[in-house]
Amino acid sequence: MASNEIWQWPAVDTAAAIRTGQVSALEVTEAHVARLQAANPALNAVVVDLTDQALDAARAADAAQASGAELGTLHGVPVTIKINIDVEGQANSNGVVALKDNIAPGDAPVTANLRQAGAIILGLTNTPEFSMRAFTDNPLHGQTWNPWDRAITCGGSSGGAAAAVAAGIGWIAHGNDIGGSLRWPAFCTGTATIRPSQGRVPAFNPSAPVERPPMAQLMSVQGPLCRDVADVRLALSVMSRRDVRDPWWVPAPLEGPPVRKRVAKAKIPASMDCNAEVLALIDRAAGWLADAGYEVVELDVPDIDETFKVWVDLISTEITVMQLKQYREQGGPLFQGALDGILTMATILDGPGYMQAVAYRARLMRRWFEFLEEWPIILAPVSVQPTPAFDADLVSTEAVRRIFSNDLRFNMAVSALGVPVATTPIGYVDGAPIGVQLIGQRFREDVCLDAAAAIEARLGLPVHDLWAR
């Protein structure tokens, strides 16, 4: 660590350095504030600056440590929060102009868990309107740019989070994922993440006037974006602590018994238009896993197209019934075009059709769970194409359809299943990072992250290449 600037240190090492007195929480926070001020103007990743409060919190953290107080796991570690969960006293705007004064009366569970562990919140990161686009832009805060290349997207909806952590603004970036919103930005920015099992990380917004739609409750998860797998593991351990406000939270252990080191490399459906260089990188990652002692076999995974269809039909039906009026009234024109592209992919279900689809989802989950019992890791694409232009979804509704149903089909489909998925970089196409999904059995995030760490050990950290530029 001594040869690097403080903001480049891993969170695991930084937490240890603060705890042992090698560096103070204030020194660490000041380094990240300086990095934010240097890097963020070109990115617009952090759209609510909380650095004054962060510096006060760092001073308080140092005073607590000097008094001999018990220190949390993330004592003094700077983090960011996505603007679609509650941070007490701040607006949970979700990128929507009409919600710019939606002040949170209290912390969401993830925010509370991070604070209780001693983390210091630097700021709030950008998201598209209603967190409903795969590209991060909104009329309230504007466009977030990819630190690798302004010509390509940083992804969405956790694009601000991914761009910030890739650029060195905070070690842990909170994000969430209902259809790839952690995994897709990680792919685009060369960072690592885990989409946790449904029920692993508690979720609730005290500012919310109504409850989320049912399938949104059962498909949306909260999680971390980080620069390396070890930091993802550390962040997950903190974010997943109990909060009674989430009735779906499950007190599952973070580690389980040993499983067979077997990887099913997912066969790509013939209907998907794929980039050969992306597929070659996935093949290389499969070889790295084999070198690390995994048995790797290419196999058909269960019903990827049907799983995608269930995801898009259920989500779109819930939007149409419970949210569309608000979206039409409060969303901007670019958001409306992206939303139309999503809705045109779906069959909007009537009452019996919706109930049948919910029931069929359970059958699909059962098939995937049975497959994962035999093959504890599935290696699958995040996208079968390189990262597109920052406004690729604005071309037409057909462009949205192609991005979701072709490029990101695996990414979207897996969102319906409630299983954990790690994403880690696997290389570059035309200088831009590419990532891969590592899908595991429910509540076996540890197995997913072990496989991700094996790939990371061979590739190294792309952010080092980014910072060197």
**Distance set, CA 147 to CA 152, 164, 176, 185, 304 (Å):** 9, 8, 20, 12, 32
Backbone angles phi, psi at 240, to 5 degrees: -85, 5
Residue 157 is among the residues annotated as catalytic for this protein: yes
Q: 82 near 88, Cβ under 8 Å?
A: no
Name the catalytic one among 131, 181, 207, 415. Answer: 181
Alpha-carbon distance 275 to 264, whole Å?
A: 21
Task: Tell the residue number behind the tokens 């905070």, with chain if given.
Answer: 170
Tell me, yes or no, if 261 is annotated catalytic. no
Query: What's the rounded Cα separation, in Å, for the pair 422 and 229?
Result: 9
Q: Of 112, 54, 240, 82, whose CA–CA distance to 174 is shortest?
A: 82
Structural contact between residues 96 and 128, judged by C-beta atoms closer than 8 angstroms: no
Cα–Cα distance for residue pair 378/376, rounded to 1 Å = 7
The encoded tokens of residue 286 equal 């499969």
For residue 248, give the amino acid letter.
Answer: W
Q: Is 82 a catalytic residue?
A: yes
Please check whether residue 361 is in contact with residue 314, taking contact to mean a CB–CB distance below 8 angstroms: yes
Q: Compute the distance between CA of residue 159 and CA of residue 387 in angstroms, rounded to an integer.
A: 13
Which structure tokens are listed for 94?
A: 């979700």
Active-site residue, from 82, 261, 265, 309? 82
User: Any idea which residue has 């891993």 for tokens?
Assistant: 10
Q: Decide if 109 contacts 204 (C-beta within 8 A).
A: yes
Task: From the candidates 24, 93, 131, 157, give the one annotated as an active-site residue.
Answer: 157
Place of tokens 């259920």: 314
Sign of the CA dihedral 35, 136, 131, 430?
negative
Residues annotated as part of the active site: 82, 157, 181
